[in-house]
Structure 1
Amino acid sequence: MGSRDGQAVSPGSRMFHAPGFDCYVIAVMGVKKRIHLQLIKQGLSNTLLNHPRFCSNMVKEGRKWRWNPTTVNLEDHVIVPEIDSYLEFADPDRFLEDYVSNVTKTPLDMSKPLWEMHFLNLKTSEAEAVCVMRVHHSLGDGASLMSLLLAASRKASDSLALPTVPVLKKATLDRPPSGWCLWRFLLVLWGIVTLLWNTLVDLAMFALTVLFLRDSDTPLKGAPGMELKTMRFVHRHLSMDDVKLVKTAMKMTINDVLLGVTLAGLTRYLNRAYGFRIKGLKLNVYIRQNDGTGAEETGGKQRPNHNHNLNNIRLRATIMVNVRPSAGIQELADMMGERSKARWGWGNCLGFVVVPFVIASQDDPLQYLRQAKAIIDRKKHSLESICTFYCSKLVLKFLGIKVASAITRRVFLNTTMAFSNVVGPLEEISSFGHPLAYIAPSTYGYPHALTIHFQSYHEKMTLSMAVDPSAIRDPHLLCDDFQLSLGLIRDAVNKNLVPAAV
C-alpha cells in the first residue's frame, strides 16, 4: 500500500537513516539536447508526483516512523544552477565531476520528500545537457528506482510505447532419461545437500565477517570513518558489443563477463600499486596507444603487468540483493497516471551476499572469466541472500534498529567494496521529450572507498564508480584498467575463434 495512507517506514528503509549508514542513490544522466525546463516540470507533475514515496516525508510518531503524505512544491526539488560562460573554454567534464561531488556534501531536508533533481545545460564530451538525480536510499533500492525511471519514460522511437528490458531466462538443467529413477533421485539429493552446505558455509563466513574477519589493507580499502568523506564519481562507457561477444563465445551470462572484467581490472590496478611499494620497481608509466589500448612501459619497453605477490590478498565485495521483485514498468506507469489502485511492494527488501574476489595475475585473460563464473555459480547455489534478509528482520524485531545497523555496518567495514549490476532498457529512451544519451547511477554513504556499478543502456554498458579520492587518487586510471581488461579479454576470445592455420 502506498504512503497516502501513512504507511509505516519499513525496517530496511529506517536502517538507511542510521548513524554512520546514511545512504543515497545518485544518478548522472546525459541528455541529447538542451533541457526545456517547463517540459520537465510538467512531466514530473504528471508522473513522479503521483508516486507515494516521492510526495511523502518521514515523520516520527512516538518510537515509530511513517511516511506522511504532503504537498510537494516542485521548486524545492528542481535545481537549475548558474553556469559561468568560461566553462565553454574550460573542462566541462571536470566541472560535472566537481558539481556531483559537491551535491553530496549537503544532506537532504528531512522535512520534505527525500529527492531532488539538478538540471545543467552543460555540453560535455558525451551529452548536450545533464540531469543529476539524488534520492535517499530509504525510498527504494536500485532496481526499484530504475523501474520507476523507465515507467516515467518512453521509447525514443515511439513516444507512446514504454521501454522494454531484457527478460531473464530461468536456468534449465539437463535431465537424465526418465527411466533412470535412482540416478535422478541421487542428483536431486546431491543438489539439496550442496545447497544446504553452501548456505551454511556462506552464513558462517558472514558471521565471521561481522565478528572479526577483515579484508586485507590494500590501496582500494578505505580508512575508518570514510563514509563521512566526500566521494568522487566517475564513469566510463564500455562496448556492449564486446560484452555480448564474450558472453556468447564463452557461453556465460552478462554478470559472468562483468565480474570477470572486474577481477581483471582490479588485479591490474593492484599490480601497478604493489609494483612500486613491494618490489621497488621503477615507476610504471601507463600509456595509451593509437588503437585505444593501454600498456605498461618501463624504460621504453612494454611488458605485461604481472605481479604474482597478490595471491594472499583477501578482497571481497558486498552485494545487496533485492529478495522481493520490483513492481513492473506497466504497473508503475499506470499508478503514476492514477489509472490503477493496485497495491504493490516498494522500499528495501534486501539480503546481503559477500563475494570473494580472486586477485591473481593470469597469463590467459580468459581465466578471469572462468574464475568469475565459478564464483557466481557457487553463489547461485546458496540461500545466503534470503537467509541474511530474514536474519536481519529478526535482529530488527528483537534487538532494534541500532543493533541491526551496527551489524550491517560491520559487514561493509570488513569488506573492501560494493558491487552491483542493474539492467536497463534495450532501446534508447526519452524522458519528457528529452532523449537520454547514457545513465550512470551510483551510491554513497557506505563505509567503502570503492563502489562499482554496471548499468546497461541500449548499446552501452556504463561502468560507474564512487571512490574516496584520498585512497584512490586517480579513478580514471582505474576505469582505464577495466576498459583495457575488457579489450584484452575480447582479443583473447577472437583469437580462440579464429581457426588455426593448416
Structure 2
Amino acid sequence: MGLSYPIDIQAFKTAFSNSIMFKNPRFCSLIVRDNNGTKNHWKRTCINIDDHFIIHQNTTIVKTDLEIEDGDDKEAAINSFLAEISVSTPLNENKPLWELHVLMDLNCVVLRVHHSLGDGVSLMSLLSSCFCPKNEIISEGRKKGIWKLIKSLWLTIVFILRLLGRILWVKDKVSVVSGGDGVELWPRKLVTAKFMLEDLKSIKLAIPNATINDVLLGIISSGLSKYIDIKSPMALHQTLQLTAIIPVNLRKYPYLQKMSELVTNSNSGLSGWGNKTSIILLPIKCLNGLNALEHVRALKATMDKKKHSYVAYFGFRIVQFLVSYVSPKVGCWCFRKIIRNTTLVISNIKGPSERMVIADNLVTFMKVNVSSIPHAITVHMVSYAGMVNLQVMVAKDIISDPEILVEYFQDSFLKLKNSIKMNNQV
C-alpha cells in the first residue's frame, strides 16, 4: 500500500494495535504441534507490535526497461523489494505469521501474511473494515430453473473428472513460460500494468453479459499469445493450450459482513473468515491470429460454463474432506499436483472503491502478490479507488523480459478499447 505522506511509525503502530486486526484470533496465535509432532493447532499468544514492524530506511532500485522509459523510480523500487521478499526468508513461526514492512523512503507499507491466516477476500475485508469508511456489499446469488440445474450438474461432473485427471496425469505441454518443481525458490522479477476501472467497465458493457474479469482474462490471453508466438513461433502451429488456475470466492458476498463480530469469534458458525476459496481450471488457447475482442469472447464462453457448474464448490468440499478425515498432507499433495500440471495462476480481488486512511495518511494505491508457487508466471489483479493494478511476477531465469509481456497486455487493452470505440461510432 502506497501512502500520501511520510510515515509516522508510532502512529501506524497505534493504528494497527487499535484495529480489529488485533482481535482476530489468527493474527494473535501461533501454530504449534502436538507431542508427536503430527498435528498442528492454533494457540493464542500476546503480541509485541515491535516484533511485527520491520523498518527499511533505504530501498534499492532495480529498474526494468519499461520502468526506465516511464521514469517511475518509486514503483521500480517497490516492485524490486516485493520480488526479493517473495523468495526470501519464510515468516518466523515463533510469532504470529504476519509482519509489516515499512519502506520509509518510498512512503509504502507491505503487509506480509501467511495464507493460513486467510484468503484474499478475508484479508481485503479486514483491511477495509480497519481503514475504510465502509464496505460494499453486492449480492452474487443467482436463480436456476430445472433445465439449468440439470445442465449445471452435467458440467460439474465433466469438470470434476477433468480436475481429477489434472491431479493424476494430465499436464500442460512445456512452453517458454512453464515452471516446475523448485521454481518457487528461483529469483523473481515483478512488473506492474495499470488500467482505469472505468475503461474496463466501458469495454465490459459493450460485450453482452461480460464481466470485468472476462475482460482482464481476454487481455492476458491476448498478450500471452503474442509473447509466446514471438518467443516460440512453432508452439502456435501446434495450437498450444495453457491452463490457468483461477481462485474462486465461495462466499455469498465479495466482502465479509459484520467483520467486528466475525474476527472475535474463531468458532462462529456464521464466520466466512479464513480460507473459503476454491479454484477452477481455465484453458487458454494461444492463438495470436485472434484479436483481443475474440479472446475476451472465447474466455467468457468458457468461464460461463465454469460459473454454471458446481465444480468450485465440490472441489472445495473434496479438499476439506481430505484435510479433515484423511490427512492434510494428502490435500496438500493434490493441490501441489494441480499447480505442477498447470502453467500459471490468475487472481482478481475487488478492493475498496473509496480510499483507505491509515493514521491520517491516505492510501494512494494497493497491490497484491502471492509467493511460493512453482509457476514461472503469476498474475494478480486488485482494483482500488478506480484503478486496477495488475502484478506480473515471473521467475526471471525463465522469463527474463516481463516488461515486454506487460507491454503486450497494455497493447491488447488499447486495441480492445479502440475496437469498442469504433464499433460504437459505427
Scaled by the length of structure 1, what TM-score is found?
A: 0.76
Q: Which residue of 1 aligns with 2:16?
A: 44
1:165/1:474 Cα in 2 relative to 1: closer, same or farther (>3 Å)? farther
Q: Give the corresponding residue for 1:118.
A: 101
Q: Do the aligned partners of 1:256 and 1:369 also contact (CA within 8 Å) in 2?
A: yes
**Cross-structure match for 1:163:** 134
Judged with a 3 Å threshold, the aligned counterparts in structure 2 of structure 1 residues 402 and 333 are, in CA distance, closer, same or farther, namely closer
- 2:212 maps to 254
- SS of the aligned residue for 2:417 comes to helix
Identical residues among aligned pairs (%): 30
Unaligned runs of 5+ residues in structure 2 are 63-70
Cα distance in 2 between the residues matched to 1:327 and 1:489: 27
1:133 aligns with 2:100: no
Letter in 1 for 2:105: L
Q: Does 2:243 match 1:265?
A: no
Map 1:95-114; keep pairs closer than 5 Å: 95-104=77-86, 105-114=88-97
**CA distance 1:405–1:335, shift in 2 (3 Å):** closer
Q: Is the 8 A contact 1:234 1:476 kept in 2?
A: yes
SS in 1 for 2:370: strand
Confirm whether residue 149 of structure 1 aligns to residue 121 of structure 2.
no
Q: Which residue of 2 aligns with 1:392?
A: 319
Kept in 1: contact 2:224–2:408 (CA 8 A): yes
Residue pairs, 1:99-498, within 5 angstroms: 99-104=81-86, 105-123=88-106, 129-154=107-132, 162-165=133-136, 167-171=138-142, 188-251=145-208, 252-275=210-233, 278=234, 309=236, 312-324=239-251, 331-333=258-260, 344-498=271-425
Partner amino acid, structure 2, of 1:417 = L
**One-letter amino acid of the counterpart of residue 57, structure 2:** E
1:76 to 32, 35, 51: 51
How many equivalent pairs are there? Answer: 411
SS at match of 2:258: helix
Once the two structures are superposed, residues 44-67 of structure 1 have per-residue CA deviations (whole angstroms, 9 ceiling, x without a partner) of: 110122221111111112433221
2:99 is paired with a residue whose SS is strand
* 2:42 pairs with 1:67: yes
- Structure 1 residue 482 displacement after superposition: 1.0
CA shift in 2, pair 1:31/1:334, >3 Å: farther
Question: C-alpha distance in 2, partners of 1:407/1:317?
Answer: 16
Q: Deviations over 1:196-255 (max 9, x none)?
A: 221111111111111111101111111322122233333221122210110112232111
Counterpart CA distance in 2 for 1:314 and 1:465 is: 20
Shift of the 225–218 alpha-carbon distance from structure 1 to 2, 3 Å rule, reads same
Q: Which of the pair is proportionally richer in helix?
A: 2
Distance 1:464 1:398, change over 3 A: same
Deviations 1:437-480 (A, max 9, x none): 11110101122111111111111011012211111111222111
CA distance in 1, matches of 2:31, 2:60: 40
Contact 2:242 2:284 in 1 (8 A): yes
Gaps of 5+ in 1: 1-28, 124-128, 155-161, 174-187, 279-307
Q: Is the 2:83–2:393 Cα contact (8 Å) retained in structure 1? A: no
Identify if the C-alpha distance between structure 1 residues 417 and 85 changes in structure 2 by more than 3 Å, giving closer, same or farther. Answer: closer
Q: Secondary structure at the match of 1:66?
A: strand
Alpha-carbon shift at residue 263 of structure 1 (Å): 1.2
Determine the C-alpha separation between the residues in 1 that align with 2:326 and 2:115.
22
CA drift of 1:100 comes to 2.2
The structure with the largest alpha-carbon Rg is 1
Distance 1:90 1:354, change over 3 A: closer
Q: Does 2:76 align with 1:94?
A: yes
Q: CA deviation at 1:326?
A: 7.2
SS of residue matched to 1:233:
strand
Counterpart for residue 68 of structure 2: none
Q: Matches of 1:224 and 1:403 in 2, distance apart?
A: 18
Corresponding residue for residue 282 of structure 1: none
In structure 2, relative to structure 1, the CA distance for the partners of 1:239 and 1:133 (3 Å cut) is same
